[in-house]
Amino acid sequence: QGARWGEEEEEQQQEQEQQEQQQQKKRNSP
């Protein structure tokens, strides 16, 4: 369970990064 939970946490971090990148693109776009 420990390793599995760690993997899930990593996925969540990646999703957050992707969302932040998308938001930045929207801000940069006119």
> Which whole-number Å values give the CA distances from 18 to 1, 8, 10, 14, in the listed order?
26, 15, 12, 6
Higher pLDDT, 17 or 12: 17
Which pLDDT score is estimated for 13?
84
Which pLDDT score is estimated for 27?
80
Higher pLDDT, 3 or 18: 18
DSSP string for 1-30: -HHHHHHHHHHHHHHHHHHHHHHHHHHH--
Q: What is the pTM for the complete model shown?
A: 0.53
Q: Residue with structure tokens 């801000």?
A: 27
